Structure 1
């Protein structure tokens, strides 16, 4: 199968002009077989009750369950303290780091609160039915514990250069943390593997998909297939690439300043519109929840019933929240704090905001309006747009703005993630860093110019591949974090309670 795909890929290159009549079609001819090849490797599945279950999804969900139990349901018990830290109750301007707790959170959220909440939810509900929403919520809730662990480690093992630049993330806690445990060679191998996956994921997964869906919604707003922009993905991508370049060249401080403003704005716009749709259809909210619960446990004929629905929910939730993937720890490592555990508390809010709140509201809008029914030929963000437009006729125009903000914020965060991973591999060189950012912008153009199927295949594959090394490290390093957690709780939380 793999040889067949590779051969098809070569044929497409050799017969480039014969099969393509536009730039967009040419790019599609190149990427489609690549996406199929990556998917066959990363999403290797086993079959249960006629349902293909990707091993990588099971890998992430089992880890989330294990860490939730291991840390004594920190996702529930730590919620109140997390909010206090975000408010600044424990902030100290003299603490090492580059950005505040809030800026670190918004930077990380800008990498997760994106089109996974709009396009990803629509994909999950259209394939798995309303029941997929329930399993997205469950996975998001459990993912809070995973995010706590990996972001604590991000701060614990970060490096701060003489210039004050922070370098952190799975690359560093895999390399240094495992060396501390006596597994130096394994740590280096896992760190390099993660860094390579992160660079590729930043270029393909969280860049191309965002660019693609922003372009799709823009075309809808501009008049659809008859508009000037209908076959100008490369032009839209070029303009978007310029905007991205202006922000990412300034580094994490520039990115944090932008995300601290853009994330609350875009989330506010989107949630207000969603709440308006729910208010107009308030009498359908309870029946919608009934459909979600029924579909979660009693689905028939939808992707193999309950197991199929569950897998769809888990898969899209993981893509949305990124819990277990490890990338968010790169942003959280830059927070100004002397207490790694404190930033872990901040980080556990991410899956709650991103998946439990925003994804659930999006799914409710899609279910209540019935937009998920009879959606053949409608993909991703177009389905969400259809749901909102059924109540607010002009919403596709507003969604275009929200989607663009979502896309830009996600892309600039992932440009930073990729640049840190890149510097881990090749060293801290300004010229090499600029070279990476230039390539990132080129992939922005590429993403807007290809088909959704090809983009999703590549983005999902590269994105989930990061979790392979990261989860191994998290299992091994969790006892160290648990010790730090006990010390932190005795130092701060015990005093508060007494």
Structure 2
């Protein structure tokens, strides 16, 4: 399949060269046919003469507020549990069920007693507690087969993070500050904290209603919980309609904002850094990027997860480390920066739109950066290995915290501190090149860090593309069926769009693809709100399992995690 994919990609290059030479014409035609859709999705409701709010933002934040209240501040109360789940503290009950390991079953007590006396091999307990299959199973594989799913909690988290941590954290924050000033940071943090509840809700449903193929491949996301979940509620037709809408939108988003935009920005930074000129510079970069993406996406979610669990922590670590160095060098200014953030959040003085304008910019950038409520992350999280859907929902709530509360805030602090005297930016005047502004801020303290930032942008773009390829593939399979030919067609199209994105100026194409991503909010939020009672039931089930294990350990039971 790898050879076929690369061969088809090479055959498509002449057509892509033609597209490159007719960029303006393509962009103009595309705008004529899709402008109405973009205007509809990003329509701003006028509340007064001075400010307007995009209706999609109201849906996003309204949904986040609802989930925060309905699940009794799960974004706060579930935080410590989320860290423990990622560490693997409850891995045993998630693989085998709490009743088998810590219940009142006599066999369980007997096996645990033997474990205490070191009379039982650790592999045997795994086999004893795993789901039995006809004809037996190999000891070395039964651990992964005892619970449906393809990846670990950590891998699912990094796969989803790789699609959100990126240009929004680097460029988007700079744009928000240029329009809304330092105060936008406060509302960005609020959006991140509220978004944690949305991520919890949608990712719990992603695991609850996923499909698992005979070969163990997982198919999940809003398409499945909208159809299966709403059917249980007696709203099958509505669910099917919403699922088809979502699948169409996620495919469009995967080709555009999750692909072409990323390739375009990465190519722009690369060619600018190395001063590469000529009409084919972006094309060559796109071909190399497409080949690298192809190598990863051919392997499916397991390969994607194995790459993102290494790339995401690495690139985020470098970026955060550089920010910490700058903040450390200017530690005496951090309190002044927070004072500006707090003051600006509630005054909005000198900023277009005043207080409301600052609030909108912060919330908008925060919500758009972490994609909470969009439903995309539920696709990646649905592939996790667990018997308790809420366990992955709890892990998922860490995502907006890492993406927005930590990384976006650090970017904002660096820009504010290095721009105290207005050296490179005037608040209230919108800038277009957010990456360049962030690079200037970092370079002012760490000379030539823009080189590292360019590498980070390329890695961020790469990880975003491979994760969105998986999201789009799931939507594609939902609409057109599951099969090798179906897979091949989507992957070829996706790789072609990588090259197109890197080599042509996008304009209206990107506006449309962004609209597709945020159109996903509508069917997703409707479905998740309707299925909220199911989520609450799953949360109670998982928390009861944790309590049962903790009680058993207090009574002297053996922690099976220590023996597996």
User: TM-score, normalising length from structure 2?
Assistant: 0.81
Structure 2 unmatched ranges of 5 or more: 1-18, 96-142, 555-564
Matched residue, 1:185:
237
Task: Give the aligned partner of residue 492 of structure 1.
Answer: 546
* Superposition pairs of residues 148-297 of structure 1, within 5 angstroms: 148-223=200-275, 227-228=276-277, 232-297=281-346
How far has the Cα of 1:377 moved from its partner?
Answer: 6.1
In the alignment, which of 441, 446, 451 is matched to residue 387 of structure 1?
Answer: 441
1:61 aligns with 2:61: yes
**By how many angstroms is 1:326 displaced?**
0.5
Q: Following the alignment from structure 1 to structure 2, what is the Cα–Cα distance between the partners of residues 290 and 450?
A: 43
1:17 maps to none
Contact 1:244–1:412 (8 Å) recurs in 2 = yes
**Aligned counterpart, 2:518:** 464
Deviates more, 1:137-146 or 1:89-98: 89-98
The 2-side partners of 1:47 and 1:112 are apart by 29
Distance 2:32 2:401 in 1: 36
Quote the Cα distance in structure 2 between the aligned partners of 1:494 and 1:137.
35
Report the CA distance between 1:139 and its aligned residue. 0.5
- The answer to whether the aligner puts 1:354 opposite 2:398 as a matched pair is no
Mapping 1:107-118, distance limit 5 Å: 107-118=159-170
Q: 1:331 aligns with which of 380, 389, 392?
A: 380
Match of 1:423 in 2: 477
Cross-structure match for 1:74:
74
**Match of 2:520, SS?**
helix
1:320 aligns with 2:369: yes
* Equivalent residue number for residue 426 of structure 2: 373
> Per-residue deviation at 1:449?
3.3
Name the SS of the counterpart of 1:53 in structure 2. strand
What is the CA deviation profile of residues 137-179 of structure 1, one whole-angstrom value per residue up to 9, with x for unaligned ones?
Answer: 0001000011001000000000000111100000000000000
Do structure 1's residue 103 and structure 2's residue 152 form an aligned pair?
Answer: no
| Deviation for aligned residue 1:263 | 0.7
Cα RMSD over matched residues? Answer: 2.1
Superposed, 1:434-449 pairs within 5 Å as 434-449=488-503
Instruction: Check the 8 A contact 2:20/2:504 in 1, yes or no.
Output: no
1:41 corresponding residue in structure 2: 40
Q: 1:406 aligns with which of 456, 460, 466?
A: 460
Tell me if the contact between 2:259 and 2:501 (Cα under 8 Å) persists in the aligned partners.
yes
How far does residue 293 in structure 1 lie from its aligned partner after superposition? 1.4
Instruction: Give runs of aligned pairs for residues 83-94 of structure 1, distance below 5 A.
Output: 83-91=83-91, 92=95, 93=143, 94=146
Give the 3 Å change call, closer, same or farther, for CA 188–210 of structure 1 in structure 2.
Answer: same
Q: CA deviation at 1:233?
A: 2.4
Distance 1:404 1:262 in 2: 11
Inter-partner Cα distance in structure 1 for 2:392 and 2:182? 34
Q: Using the TM superposition, give the Cα deviation of residue 22 of structure 1 relative to its aligned residue in structure 2, in angstroms.
A: 4.9
**Aligned-pair distance for 1:453?**
5.3
* 2:118 paired residue number: none
Q: Give the TM-score normalised by the residue count of structure 1.
A: 0.91
Shift of 1:203: 0.6
Distance (Å, rounded) in 1 between the aligned partners of 2:68 and 2:265? 33
- 479 and 324 in structure 1: CA distance in 2 versus 1, 3 angstrom threshold: same
- Whether contact under 8 Å (1:219, 1:230) holds in the other structure is no
* Mapped partners of 1:377, 1:71: distance in 2: 39
Q: CA separation in 2, counterparts of 1:289 and 1:450?
A: 41
| Cα distance change on mapping 1:456 and 1:301 into 2, 3 Å | farther
1:10-35 alpha-carbon deviations (Å, 9 max, x no partner) = xxxxxxxxxx9956555555556567
1:47 CA displacement: 1.0
Q: Which residue number corresponds to residue 391 of structure 2?
A: 342
CA contact under 8 A between 2:27 and 2:509: conserved in structure 1? no
Post-superposition CA distance 1:456-490 (Å, at most 9, x none): 52343111100000000011000111122122222
Contact 1:38/1:457 (8 A) holds in 2: no
Q: Provide the residue aligned with 1:10 in structure 2.
A: none
- Aligned mates of 1:62, 1:258 — CA distance in 2: 35
* Deviations 1:93-131 (CA, angstroms, capped at 9, x unpaired): 322110111111111111111111111112211222211
For 1:126-165, list aligned pairs within 5 A. Answer: 126-165=178-217
Residues 45 and 52, structure 2, Cα contact 8 Å, conserved in 1: yes
Aligned in 2, Cα 1:428/1:142: closer, same or farther, shift over 3 Å?
A: same
In 1, Cα distance between equivalents of 2:33 and 2:404: 30
1: CA distance, partners of 2:456 / 2:33: 30
**Residues in 2 aligned to 1:301 and 1:22: alpha-carbon distance in whole angstroms:** 44
Could you tell me how far 1:214 is from its partner in structure 2?
1.2
Following the alignment from structure 1 to structure 2, what is the Cα–Cα distance between the partners of residues 59 and 96?
33
SS in 1 for 2:531: helix
Match of residue 138 from structure 2: none
Q: Paired residues, what number?
A: 476
Give the direction of change, closer, same or farther, for the CA distance of 1:328–1:76 in structure 2 (3 Å limit): same
3-state SS of paired residue (1:46): strand
Distance in 1, matches of 2:509 and 2:446, equals 29
Do residues 305 (structure 1) and 354 (structure 2) align?
Answer: yes
Question: 2:345 & 2:75 partners in 1: Cα distance?
Answer: 23
Between stretches 30-39 and 339-348, larger displacement belongs to: 30-39
Structure whose CA Rg is larger:
2
Aligned-residue offset at 1:369: 1.3
Deviations 1:45-99 (A, max 9, x none): 1112321210000111011011001001011111111111101112233221101
